[in-house]
Amino acid sequence: MRAEVAVHTPASLGEGPTWDPVTGRLIWVDILGSRVHTYEPATGRRTVMATEQHVGAAKPRAAGGLVVNLRDGIGRYDADGAYSWLLRDPVPGRRGNDAAVAPDGSLWAGTMRYDEAAGGGALTRVTPDGTAQTIFPSVAVSNGIGWSPDGTLAYYIDSPTRRIDVCRMEGQLPVDRRPLAIIEPGAGFPDGLTVDADGCVWVALWDGGRLRRYTPRGALDRTLPLPVSRPTACCFGGPGLRDLYVTTARTGLSRPHPLAGSVLVVPDAGQGLPGVAFAG
């Protein structure tokens, strides 16, 4: 397998790739650029939408439009572009980061402090009516979130811990959190993740320049080197959910690779899982 360039662009902090099967397009964000991007592989068409705040994630809504994890809370864009707050919760020095839609249609949204201070962020479950429930308090850099194919397990990353954690789902909430795998020093920090149809977890290694795939038992069974040092997240998309898309970053690099910030793609990398749209 070899990574190719899907979208050549100098995003500062590209993140959160999500495949929208309804529109046949990839959605991702440039967090520090306050932009939501889309890309249609079938046509090459791209769009860019500016947001009023730093945007950690953007996910499709069942009603059309997008739900976004912003600096000051959770917002909604309707299909016609109209904006409204779903949950406004501003905290000085804090912003939204990675997010994911759970099998039940709720949004699990992470936060972090700009200075990445320990305990400054959290992972929160937000329902379509805007009700918020803290899942994990006191995290540093809330990142990758995903579920097993049958929905019985949840995966989560707080990047500075170097762990990919796994939890058992009890109803709509995770319990019994424990490490599935630990990234060794010098290999980078775990960032965004996706789960494939085999139940394996793909994780992007920030400052590690590669993707790794771990089995449901936590064994490393595949490594994919990349041309950039800061991959941030990945997801399956394209025809049959066979292509693996990877967002990347150039922020903080004195001499970034020419492809840093671009979206990469690994054709026919495996078999992805169908996504769920936010129910609100």
Q: Is 207 tagged catalytic?
A: no
Using DSSP's 3-state secondary structure scheme, residue 157 falls into strand
Sign of CA dihedral 141, 250, 206, 266: positive
Using DSSP's 3-state secondary structure scheme, residue 161 falls into helix
C-alpha triplet 24, 226, 193: angle, nearest 5°: 55
Q: Could you tell me the CA-to-CA distances from 79 to 23, 56, 64 in Å, in that order?
A: 12, 20, 5
Q: Which entry of 30, 191, 196, 243 is annotated as an active-site residue?
A: 191
Other C-beta atoms closer than 10 Å to the C-beta of 133 total: 12
* Torsion angle defined by CA atoms of residues 220, 12, 64 and 193, in that order, rounded to the nearest 10 degrees: 10
Other C-beta atoms closer than 10 Å to the C-beta of 146 total: 24
Residues annotated as catalytic (active site), given as ranges: 191
